[in-house]
Structures are given as structure tokens and as C-alpha cells.
Amino acid sequence: MRFIFNPRVSCYNKGMKYAWGLFLWCWASGYVCAQHNHVQIAQQNMPAVVAVNVFQKDGGTFSGTGFTLTENGVIVTSKHVLEQALYTNITFPNGTTSAEALVLAEHPQTDLVLLKIAARHLPTVTLGDEHTVQPGQTITVIGNPRRLQNTVTSGLISQIRPQKDGTVWLQISAPISPSSSGSPVFNERGEVIGVAFASVTGEGNQNLNFALPVSEVKNLLAQAQITLPVTAKIPAKNPFLRHIQKSWQITQRLLRRWYHAWFAPNATH
């Protein structure tokens, strides 16, 4: 038996190896990009996360976190932030302070309230779908712990906890410190899926933090008869899967190009 060297087949095999190498490189790049998605989410949403400043009736002060829902100044935060409030205003990430923030709507059962300030052209967040939230899901939280504005933390949805009163709490592992009540909890697509409001503190307790699902924010908006503008739908895939799909498409194109370059000329028509 004689083995005949075919340069076209040899080059094709080398091309296959190169294509698979490229695919693996793109796959690894996609993984790295997915890991750095917190940076993109933070950059996109930090302008819409604000500090809620409360001047209390007894002369004290209190602060929390909120985030803007509409360009004309509708803001959501935790209701307990406003306890004993005499006057409330908002501080934006650039240091600008608003006039008085007034209560627009509050939830009778959950720790949420809508505020309204006089404003135009504010940056806003995008609300996500509460039905897609699952334990183990990666999250990003932006808040103002101890008045340290735009602090970014990350973690997981630890569990979904139904309550006896019919409400639902999202247990999260992202750190939540004082003044972070009202912080938005983002999914991998940069959409708000919850609002941080409570932590279990004390000896032996670590990362026992809770958020209310975004459905409660939507209920408040409906109560106040506010309709948010419809945003373009993003494919329901996380960045890692999108990179895998794109890498495979590139690899397929390279394989087709090599095939036609080395074999198509031999085809008969």
C-alpha cells in the first residue's frame, strides 16, 4: 500500500487545527469577558444610582440608596429609609443635590417607596423579568454603604424565600451595609431584578442579605399609574453564551473559506 501525499488535504488538516485553536481562544476570551461583566454593568448603571438624604424630625440625619426609574425624576428606595423624615432630597453621583423629594407612592406590605423630584433627562435603569431569577444566579449590586457613593459589590442569588404574607424575598450573598437599603440588584444583563433592603447581623451571620423582587417595584409603578418606556429586547443569553455562539460562527466561516479555497476548484459543474 502506498501513501500519496496530498498537499490540499495536509493544508486542510492544518486549517482545521488552526480553526479549532481559534475557537478555543475565542471561547476562553468569552469566559474572561463574562467574568468582567460587573464592570460593564457598573459603568452603565452607576449614573442612575443616587443617595437618599433624610433630615429627621428629631434633628438627626439618615441616608439610603435609590435609583431613578424615569427621566423626569421618579426614584425608588426602601420605605424604612424615610422613617421620621422631615425633609428628603437626593444626591447624584456627580455631587448635584435635588430640591425636596416627595413621596409619590408606597407599598402597604413591602419596604418600598416611590419618590418624585423635579428633574429632566436623568439617566435611568432597566427593569428585568422577575420570572427569570434563579438560585445561583450571578448579581451585581450598586449602593452607598456608609455614604460611600457608587460602591459596587457582587454575589449570587442564594435562594428565593416566599413569606407567610404572600410576598417574596430574594436571599443574596452580595454584601449589604448600612445606607445601602434601596440599592438596585442587577442580573447578568444589567437589568434590575431586586431592591436590597435588609441584612441579618450578629455573631456567626455572614452574607445573609435580602432584596425585594422587581415585581414589587412594578406594582408600585402601576399604583402610581406610571408607565415606563419600552426598551429594546436583548436576547435572553448571558455574555458567556453569546461569546460562544459568536466564536462558533467565526469558526464555521473560516472552515467554509478553507474548504472552498482547497477543494472547490476540483469540483465539476
Instruction: Pick the closest to residue 173 from 191, 189, 159, 184 (CA basis).
Output: 159
Contact 76, 82 (CB under 8 A): no
Instruction: Pick the closest to residue 127 from 68, 47, 192, 182 (CA basis).
Output: 192
Residues acting as catalytic residues: 80, 111, 181
Contact 76, 220 (CB under 8 A): yes
Contact 141, 155 (CB under 8 A): yes
Contact 209, 170 (CB under 8 A): no
Question: In the predicted model, is pLDDT for residue 25 greater than 90?
Answer: no
CA gap 149, 132 in Å, rounded? 29
Across 175-179, average pLDDT: 84
Instruction: Please give the C-alpha separations between residue 2 and each of 5, 7, 129, in angstroms, as whole numbers.
Output: 10, 16, 64
The residue behind cell 435609590 is 66
Contact 117, 103 (CB under 8 A): no
Contact 86, 56 (CB under 8 A): yes
Categorize the per-residue pLDDT at 90 as very low, low, confident or very high, splitting at 50, 70 and 90. Answer: very high
CA gap 161, 168 in Å, rounded? 6
pLDDT digits (tens, 9 = 90+) for 192-247: 999 999 877 656 566 789 999 999 999 999 999 998 875 544 444 455 565 566 56
This prediction has a pTM of 0.73
pLDDT digits (tens, 9 = 90+) for 119-144: 999 999 999 999 999 999 999 999 99
